[in-house]
Amino acid sequence: MKFSYNWMAELVSGLEATPQELMRLITIKTAECDGVEPFGEHLSNVVAARVLEAEDIPGSHNRKALIDAGALGRHTVVCGAPNCRAGITTAWVQPGTSLGGKQIGRRMFDAIESAGMLASAAELGINKDNEGIVELGDLAPGTPLPRLTPDHVIEVDNKSLTHRPDLWGHHGMAREVAAITGAKLLEPANVSLIPTTPSPVAVSIEDLQLCPRYSALLFENVTVQPSPLWLQQRLQAVGLNPINNIVDVTNFVMAELGQPMHAFDADKLASPAIYVRNAHQDETFTALNGETYTLTPASLVIADAKGAIALAGVIGGMDSAIGDGTTRLLLESANFHAASIRRTSSRLKLRTDASMRFEKSQDPVNTVRGIARAIELLQEVSPGIRMVGGLADAAAPSKPAPVIELRMDWLIRKLGRPIEASQVRNILEALRFEVKDANEGVFEVTVPSWRATKDISIKDDLVEEVGRMIGYATIDPVAPLVPTHPPADNPRRRHFRALRALAAAEGYTEVYNYSFVSEETAQRFGLPGEAHIKVANPISADQGLLRISLVPGIWRNVTENSKYLDTFQLFEIGHEIHRHDGPLANEVPHLVAAVYERHGNTGPFYEAKRLASCMLPGCETRPATAQLHEHPSRAAEVLWRGQTVGRLFEFHPNFVTGRAAVLDLNIAAMEAIGPVEKRYQPIRRFPSSEFDLSVISGKRALVGEIESQIVSFAGAMLESIAFLRQYEGAPLPEGSKSVSFQLSVAARDRTLASEEVAGIRDTIINGMRGLGYDMRV
Amino acid sequence: MLDQQLESLAASTRDRILAAATSDQLEAVRVEVLGRKGTLAEISKGMGKLTPDERKRIGQLLNAAKTNLEAALESRQKQFADAALNARLEAEWIDVTLPAPGPRPGSLHPLTQIQQELEDLFTSMGVAVLDGPEVESEYNNFDALNIPPDHPARDMQDTFWLADGNVLRTHTSPVQVRGMAKLGPPLLMIAPGRVFRNEEVDASHEHTFYQLEGMMVGRDVSIATMLYFMKLLLRHIFGREVTVRLRPGFFPFVEPGFELDIQCLICGGPGCPVCKHSGWVELMPCGLVHPNVLRMGGIDPDEWSGFAFGLGLTRLVMMRYGIDDIRHLQSGDLRFLRQF
C-alpha cells in the first residue's frame, strides 16, 4: 500500500515530520514500511507557458516553438508533439531539471538550441497520456501548475496491514500519525452534504450477514472527462491509474477513506432498484476487465431487475460501466462480509483493490462517509452535477460498540513495566478509544467502529495499542522466573546427531535435498506414482510428488558432483514421506550415503559397507534382488541383529558414469531395534590357540556364508574368526577359489591341550567337507 | 714391585679401553684384564707371598684398580650403546609431512551446524527440543494458530496444498500446538525444522527453508521477559551484545505481535546497503501467545501467559557466512558444502 506524504499532510494539521521521519515513526509504532521515494520531484521546475509561435522544422517531424513563460521570459523549445501549436498553454520543464532520470538542459535538436522541454502528462508522471503535450487551459504563463507539487511516497508492507482494515486508506494512517505525533486529525468527509430527502433508488439486501450495508446516491447532469491533473497525480502517486473523472473520484475516495466505491451508468441499469443477492447457479457476468465469469450461489452479486451488474466487493460490470456518454450515475458505497469476498476473489482468481480491502473486514459506518466525500469531489470534477434525491441506505442494525474491561495491574504484568493509568488513558484516547473509569484500576474501553470489525476485540489487543505507543524501547528486559529442570529428552535428535557426527568423521559431507520429486524421476526409480502424496499446487510439474525415497535426490547429487570431482562421499538425513491411512503422512527418517569413484570398481561398494559397519556394529549384508536403478550383481540388504534396516547397492551403470555405491538406512527401523544391553565378561585368564583354515569353494560362494558354516561347526570354544584373504588361480581349478580364515579357540577354565585344538579343527574340516567343500590342510 | 706392576697395568688398560673401537674389542680387554683368568687375577695370586700388612695394602690397591677399570669399561660401553641407538634413531627418519592414511573427515551442512549449536544453547537453559511432521493438517498449521479459513492472513504464507487436503507446513509454529498438548504449562520449548512456502526460487527466495520455533509459557511472561530471552539468544548467536528493537508486526497467533530488528552488524546503525540504509535488520517475528492459541493448546490464558518466536535458520546461516545465494544450501554442491 502506497501512501502519499502530501495527502497525509493534508489530513494531519501541522504535520512536522519529514517523509523519512514519518516512515520511521510508522515503522516503529504502526506498520512496516518498505521505503520512501520522492515522487514528481521535477514538478517544482515546471511552469505554465504559452506557445506563441510553432513552425515545422524542414526535414524533421519536430516543431520549433517560441514560448512565453511570463516572468521567466521567452524561450525557443524544440517539441515533437503533434499538438504543439500557437495559442495553447502547456507545461514547460525548465533547463536544469531532472526528469525520469534524464537531465533536461539546453540542447541542440535539428540544429536549433532548445531550452528545456514541453512535456506530456506521462512525461510529468501524472498519467499514461503520451499522445501530446498537456493543454492547461488559461493559466498565467510562468506560474506553477495548480496543486501539482513534488511528493514523497511511503510504501507500507501489505502483510503488516492484514489486521488493520482502517489503514487501507490515507485517513486511517493519518489517524495513526496524529496519535503518534500529537498533531490534529482533519475530517475530509462532510456528511451534511448528503440530502435528507428520500432516494428514488430502492435497495434490497437478501442477506444482511453477507452485505451489512449498502449505500447509494443517484446523480444527474454528469460530464465525463479527464480529472484535473492534481487528482490524477494523486492517484498516480499511490499506484492507481487515472481513467476518467468519475472513476477517479471513486478511486480517490477509496485511497483516502479505505472505502471501495463503484459508479454505475444509471441509464444502463434495467431498474431503479438494486438487489444484493447470491448469484444464481451458472449466472454469467461480464466484468470491467472484459472477462466473463460463470458464477455460483457462493458469490454475492449486485443486480438490477435483469441480472448481475457487479460482483459484490470485487469488480463492476462491463454493461453498466461509466463511458463518455454517461449523464446519470449511481454511486455505490457498500460493505461486505470479508470471508465471502475473499472466497469469491480466490475462486475467480480476481484480486482487486476493492476485494483486498473488503477481505480485511471494513467498517460499515464508512459507507456514508465515502458518499459524502465523493459528493464534494464530483462537484469539483464534474461541474453542474446534481444529486437526485437523497441517500439510499440499507443496513443491518448497527452492532453495539465492543467494550473491553482493562485492568491496570494485568496490563502492567503483560507489558513488564509500570505505567500510569493517566498515560494509558491518553494513549487510548489519542487512538479514538473511549475510556471510562469502571473501578479502581479498571478501565472500560470502547472500541471505535473502524477498529471493531476484527482488529480489536480482547484486552490483549489493547496491550499492543498501549505498548506500541509508549514505545517498546521503553521496556527493559526482565529475567523470567522459571522452574529449572532438565528438559525432556529427544532421543531421535540425539540419534540423528550421533549418525551425522559419525558420517562426517568417516569422510562424508552432508547434503540437504528437496522433499519433492517428479513423476518421471519416480518412475525411473521404479517408484509407483500412486504411492506418493501429490502436491495439489506444485510450483512446477517436476515437483509434483513428495519423495518416498531419498535415493533420487542422492542420485542427482552424485550426477552433479561427478562433473567436477573424481571421488567423493556424501550423505543426507531426511524424511521419506509415505501415504498411509492415518490423518497425516508416514514420515520415515532415512540416512542415505553415497560413495563415488570415477575409475573405481568395488571400492565404493565396500567403502559404503564400511560406513554401515561403523553405524551398525556387527551388521550383515545379504544379496538382494536388484531394483531398476541398482547394479544387478551388486545389491544387498543390510541386516542388523537379524532385522532388515536398509540397502546397500551400486548404481546401475545406466544411471551413473563411474562407480557410485549407496547405503540407504531406515533410521526408524534402527531405533526400533534399540541398543544392545551390555554385560561385563571377566577377562579370560588362560591363553587361546590360533589356527588358520582355507576352504576351497565355488567362485561365487559367499564368504559370509562360509564363515557362518565354519562357526556352526566350531562349537563353544570358538573365541573369534577373522577373514584373512581369498585367492583364485593356479594351482586351484578353474571356477574355484580358496578362502582363508584365522580362528581363535580357548576355554574359560583351562589352557586347551593341543589334542583338543586339533579336535576342534578336525570337526570343522569334516563338517565343511560334508557340505561339499574342499579343505586345504 | 707389585705396586708398579699394578700401576702400569691400570694405565695400559685405561689406554686400551679408550682405544677400543668396537664393543667386541672392549669385551676382549675386559676378559683379558678383569676376567676370572685375567691379568688382575694373576696379580692377586702373587699376594700370598706378602706380609699381612703389605697384603692388606696391595689388596686395597687392587680393589681400587678393579673398580676404576670397571667404571671406565662401563662408561665406554655406554658410549657404544648410545652411539648405536643414535645411529638407529637417525636411520629411522620419516617424512612427517606425508598425508595420513584413512578417511578425510567430511563436514556437516551449515544448517545442521547452526541448528545443533542452538539446540545446545537451549537445552542448557532447560528448553525441550520438539519435533513436528513436515506434512501437517490444515487445522494445526492454521486454525489452531488463530488463522481460520478465509482469513487474509492465510495469504501471508503461500501454501503447498496436498491432494489429501493436508499441507506442507508453512512454519514451525504448529509445533507450538503439539508442544502445549505434550508438555502442558509451564513450558519452554523449541522446534527446529524444515518448512515450505509455494514460492518461485531465486537468489533470495526458496520454497524449502528452515526455522526454529520457540515458546515459553509461564505465570509471569511479559514483553519484558520475552525481550530478556531474545537478547540472551542473540548474544549467543552473534557472540556479542546486539542492540535490538521491537516494532509492531502482525501474526495471528500472537498478541501483541512484533518484528524484532537488530541494529545492523555491518554499519552499526548509520545505514548501509545491507540494512537498506535503515540501520536495522529484521531478524525474527515474536510476540505474546494469543489467548486463543493457548486455549486451543488446552492452557487457560487467565492463568498462564506465553511468548513465542520464530527464528529463520536459513537466514541466520546466510548472514553468518555471507552467503549471497540461498540456492546453494540445497544444491548438494560439494564445492559449496565442503567449505563448512
Instruction: Enter the CATH code of domain A195-395.
Output: 3.50.40.10
Q: How far apart are CA B190 and CA B116, in angstroms?
A: 12
pLDDT at A432: 97
Residue type, A272: P
Are residues B332 and A560, on separate chains, in Cβ contact within 8 Å?
yes
> Is A485 in the B-facing interface, judged by CB distances under 8 Å?
yes
List of chain B residues whose C-beta atoms are within 8 Å of the C-beta of residue A560:
331-333
- A positions 423-462 inside 8 Å of B (CB): 458, 460-461
- DSSP label at A69? -
Q: Collect contacts of A712-716 with beta carbons under 8 A, ≥24 apart.
A: A712/A767, A713/A763, A713/A764, A713/A766, A713/A767, A713/A768, A714/A743, A714/A745, A714/A760, A714/A763, A714/A764, A715/A760, A715/A763
**Closest chain A CA to residue B225:** A478
pLDDT at B178: 93
Q: How far apart are CA A665 and CA A669, in angstroms?
A: 8
Q: How many CA atoms within 13 Å lie on the side-chain side of A491?
A: 7
> Is B134 in the A-facing interface, judged by CB distances under 8 Å?
yes
Three cell numbers written together for A670: 534402527
Q: What b/e string do you get for A308-337 counting C-beta neighbours within 10 Å, with b at 16 or more?
A: bbbbbbbbbbbbbbbeeebebbbbbbbbbb
Cα dist. B132→A575, B121, B137, B174 in Å? 12, 20, 11, 8
**Closest chain B CA to residue A485:** B126
Instruction: Enter the CATH code of domain A403-468.
Output: 3.30.56.10
pLDDT at A683: 87
Q: What is the mean pLDDT of residues B192-208?
A: 93
Out of B109, B164, B198, closest to residue A537 by CB: B198
> Is A32 in the B-facing interface, judged by CB distances under 8 Å?
yes
List of chain A residues whose C-beta atoms are within 8 Å of the C-beta of residue B149:
339
The residue whose grid cell reads 535426490 is: A553
Return the SS3 of A650. Answer: strand
Out of A490, A515, A583, closest to residue B129 by CB: A490
- CATH number for domain A689-776, candidates 1.10.3720.10, 3.30.70.3340, 3.40.140.10, 3.30.70.380: 3.30.70.380
Confidence tier at A754 by pLDDT (50, 70, 90): very high
Cα dist. A336→A39, A201, A364 in Å? 34, 19, 8
Q: Collect contacts of A202-205 with beta carbons under 8 A, ≥24 apart.
A: A202/A272, A202/A273, A202/A274, A202/A392, A203/A273, A203/A274, A203/A276, A203/A392, A203/A393, A203/A394, A204/A273, A204/A274, A204/A275, A204/A276, A204/A394, A205/A276, A205/A394
**Closest chain A CA to residue B282:** A32
Largest CA distance in chain A: 132
**Residue B61 scores a pLDDT above 90:** no
> Is B218 in the A-facing interface, judged by CB distances under 8 Å?
yes
Q: What b/e string do you get for B60-74 counting C-beta neighbours within 10 Å, with b at 16 or more?
A: ebbeebbeebeebbe
Out of B222, B332, B338, closest to residue A557 by CB: B332
Whether the Cβ atoms of residue A445 and residue A451 lie closer than 8 Å to each other: no
**Residue B218 scores a pLDDT above 80:** yes
Cα dist. A129→A121, A161, A381, B218, B262 in Å? 6, 32, 19, 62, 45
Q: How far apart are CA A661 and CA A648, in angstroms?
A: 7
| Parallel, antiparallel or unpaired: strands A213-220 and A329-335 | antiparallel
Please report, rounded to a whole number, the percentage of residues in chain B having pLDDT higher than 90.
66
Q: How far is A481 from chain B (nearest CA, A)?
A: 7
> Is A533 in the B-facing interface, judged by CB distances under 8 Å?
yes
Q: Of A574, A570, A562, which Cα lies nearest the Cα of A514?
A: A574
Q: How far apart are CA A226 and CA A691, in angstroms?
A: 106
List of chain A residues whose C-beta atoms are within 8 Å of the C-beta of residue B105:
504-507
Q: How far apart are CA A205 and CA A300, in angstroms?
A: 10
Whether the Cβ atoms of residue A294 and residue A287 lie closer than 8 Å to each other: no
Three cell numbers written together for A83: 499538438
Fold match flag (A403-468 vs A492-673): no
Q: How far is B163 from chain A (nearest CA, A)?
A: 5
Q: What b/e string do you get for A209-219 counting C-beta neighbours within 10 Å, with b at 16 or more?
A: ebbbbbbbbbb
- CATH number for domain A492-673, candidates 3.40.50.1000, 3.30.1340.10, 3.30.930.10, 3.40.109.10: 3.30.930.10
List of chain B residues whose C-beta atoms are within 8 Å of the C-beta of residue A299:
none
Of A65-69, A561-565, B255-259, B320-324, where does mean pLDDT reach its minimum? B320-324
Whether the Cβ atoms of residue A35 and residue A155 lie closer than 8 Å to each other: yes
Give the other-Cβ count within 10 Å of A12's Cβ.
Answer: 25
List of chain A residues whose C-beta atoms are within 8 Å of the C-beta of residue B116:
497
Q: How far apart are CA B40 and CA B28, in angstroms?
A: 14
Reported as a single tens digit per residue, the pLDDT across A625-668 is 999 999 999 999 999 999 999 999 999 999 999 999 999 999 99
> Is B242 in the A-facing interface, judged by CB distances under 8 Å?
no
Of A365-379, A465-479, A574-588, B38-52, where does mean pLDDT reach its minimum? B38-52
Three cell numbers written together for A76: 525557443
Reported as a single tens digit per residue, the pLDDT across B86-110 is 999 999 999 999 998 888 899 999 9
Are residues B223 and A472, on separate chains, in Cβ contact within 8 Å?
yes
Are residues A460 and B136, on separate chains, in Cβ contact within 8 Å?
no
**Residue B155 scores a pLDDT above 80:** no
Reported as a single tens digit per residue, the pLDDT across A320-344 is 999 999 999 999 999 999 999 999 9
> Is A530 in the B-facing interface, judged by CB distances under 8 Å?
no
**Closest chain A CA to residue B168:** A535
Q: How far apart are CA A65 and CA A57, in angstroms?
A: 10
**Residue A682 scores a pLDDT above 90:** no
Cα dist. A67→A92, A139, A204, A630, B231 in Å? 9, 14, 58, 84, 65
Q: Of B286, B285, B129, which Cα lies nearest the Cα of B221?
A: B286
Are residues B333 and A560, on separate chains, in Cβ contact within 8 Å?
yes
- B positions 66-85 inside 8 Å of A (CB): none
Q: What is the mean pLDDT of residues A495-501?
A: 97
Out of A482, A514, A546, closest to residue B330 by CB: A514
Q: How far is B260 from chain A (nearest CA, A)?
A: 10
Q: What is the mean pLDDT of residues A452-459?
A: 94
pLDDT at A624: 96
List of chain B residues whose C-beta atoms are within 8 Å of the C-beta of residue A561:
332-334
> Is B108 in the A-facing interface, judged by CB distances under 8 Å?
yes
Q: How far apart are CA A301 and CA A303, in angstroms?
A: 6
| Parallel, antiparallel or unpaired: strands A774-776 and A689-698 | antiparallel
**Closest chain A CA to residue B105:** A507
Three cell numbers written together for A22: 514519518
Out of B106, B150, B207, closest to residue A508 by CB: B106
Are residues B109 and A461, on separate chains, in Cβ contact within 8 Å?
no
- CATH number for domain A41-124, candidates 3.30.110.30, 2.40.50.840, 2.40.50.140, 2.60.120.380: 2.40.50.140
Answer yes or no: is the ipTM higher than 0.85.
yes
Whether the Cβ atoms of residue A475 and residue A418 lie closer than 8 Å to each other: no
Return the SS3 of B325. Answer: coil
Q: What is the mean pLDDT of residues A1-28?
A: 96
Domain ranges of chain A: 2-40+151-185, 41-124, 195-395, 403-468, 492-673, 689-776
> Is B168 in the A-facing interface, judged by CB distances under 8 Å?
yes
Backbone φ and ψ for A535, nearest 5 degrees, come out as: -85, 125
Are residues A488 and B128, on separate chains, in Cβ contact within 8 Å?
yes
Return the SS3 of B41. Answer: helix
As a three-state string, the secondary structure of B253-278 is CEEEEEEEEEECCCCCCCCCCCCCCC
- B positions 298-317 inside 8 Å of A (CB): 305
**Closest chain A CA to residue B278:** A24
List of chain B residues whose C-beta atoms are within 8 Å of the C-beta of residue A464:
248, 255-257
Domain A2-40+151-185, second-level architecture: 2-Layer Sandwich (3.30)
Q: Of B311, B128, B328, B323, which Cα lies nearest the Cα of B211?
A: B311
CA dihedral A29, A30, A35, A40 (to 10 degrees): -110
Out of A343, A416, A503, closest to residue B222 by CB: A416
The H or E element containing residue A124 is helix A121-124
pLDDT at A676: 79
Whether the Cβ atoms of residue A23 and residue A36 lie closer than 8 Å to each other: yes
> Is B206 in the A-facing interface, judged by CB distances under 8 Å?
no
**Closest chain A CA to residue B119:** A493
Please give the mean pLDDT across all residues of chain B: 91
pLDDT at B288: 98
- A positions 270-309 inside 8 Å of B (CB): none
Which residues partner with A355 through β-bridges? Answer: none
Whether the Cβ atoms of residue B33 and residue B13 lie closer than 8 Å to each other: yes
Q: How far is B299 from chain A (nearest CA, A)?
A: 16
Q: What b/e string do you get for B258-296 counting C-beta neighbours within 10 Å, with b at 16 or more?
A: bbbbbebeebeeeeeeebeebbbbbbbbbbbbbbbbbeb
Q: What angle do CA A112, A113, A118 make, to 5 degrees?
A: 100
Reported as a single tens digit per residue, the pLDDT across B25-58 is 999 999 998 888 888 888 888 777 888 888 888 8
**Residue B157 scores a pLDDT above 80:** no
Strand order in the sheet with A46-56: A74-79, A63-68, A46-56, A89-93, A117-118
Q: Say which residues have a Cβ less than 8 Å from residue A753's Cβ, sequence separation at least 6.
A: none
Out of B126, B290, B305, closest to residue A485 by CB: B126
